[in-house]
Homo-oligomer: A and B are copies of this chain.
Amino acid sequence: MRRKGIPDETVGRLFVYLRALLCLAEKGVETVSSSRLAEACDLKASMIRKDFSFFGEFGTRGVGYNVGRLITEIRRSLNLDKTVKAALVGAGNIGRALLSYPGFGKEGFQIAACFDSDGNKIGRKLNGMKVEDIARLKGRIKAKGIRLGIVAVPVSEAPDVARRLADAGVKAILSFAPCNLNMPRGVKVACVDLVTEMARLVYYS
């Protein structure tokens, strides 16, 4: 859900600010100047001051911005102030890593259900989460109010899994399968393609 009143370019940068601010908070930093935040974000301090002016006053001249308050306000602007429930499909190695990733919980994401089609995995627990039959996906997603799907299955199964998620009403999909999912309009997809990232890095380095 987009917010009105904040320009799209500012919204794009809010994600960058939030990430940097969370890193500072983790280090115990309580106040930050626009120039220090600019350095952490690789942006200009004047742009940061302008962007933050959309929220009113956070800074005290000579002291800087309050890190905790800024995080709270940016989260609210990005609709991240309530827990977002996600469904994980694929109880393999990537799935296990995601279930044990502490960052999700801290940032307001909760993997609320985990599905697989493999009879050897269904009914077992993966990092404390019961693996359910993918046949139950639609009903469970609707019952739990899940908005986000995570596709962590092999490439050959990914398009079918994504279709099932969209059919269950999920509007946002994070996929670890390096292929195009051809989703209907209205369903947003982000693909985490590690091999392509590495190939690009190596080519340009």
Q: Please tell me which one of the listed residues B11, B23, B190, B203 contacts residue A79 in the complex, with CB atoms under 8 A apart.
A: B203
CB distance A97 to B93 under 8 Å? yes
- A114-167, CB < 8 A from B: 147-148, 155-156
CB distance A174 to B203 under 8 Å? no
**Complex CA–CA separation, A40 to B193 (angstroms):** 15
Which chain B residue lies CB-closest to A180? B40
CB distance B194 to A194 under 8 Å? no
Interface size on A, residues (CB 8 A): 59
Known: A11-B203, A23-B155. A198 touches B84 (CB 8 A): yes
- Chain B residues near A193: list those with CB within 8 A: 19
- Chain B residues near A197: list those with CB within 8 A: 174, 190, 192
Distance in Å from the Cβ of A142 to the closest Cβ of chain B?
A: 17
CB distance A201 to B179 under 8 Å? no
- Chain B residues near A63: list those with CB within 8 A: none
**Which of A45-53, A54-62, A65-73, A100-108 lies at the binding interface?**
A100-108
CB distance A199 to B18 under 8 Å? yes
**Complex CA–CA separation, A200 to B173 (angstroms):** 11
CB distance B103 to A194 under 8 Å? yes
| Residue A78 lies at the interface, judged by CB distance under 8 Å to chain B | yes
| Residue A168 lies at the interface, judged by CB distance under 8 Å to chain B | no
**Complex CA–CA separation, A67 to B100 (angstroms):** 38
Which of A42, A93, A174, A187 gathers most chain B CB within 10 Å? A93
Q: What would be 20 A-B contacts, judged by CB atoms less than 8 Å apart?
A: A1-B205, A15-B196, A15-B200, A19-B178, A19-B179, A22-B178, A23-B179, A23-B180, A26-B156, A40-B179, A78-B203, A84-B202, A96-B96, A96-B97, A103-B178, A109-B195, A147-B202, A148-B198, A171-B205, A192-B194
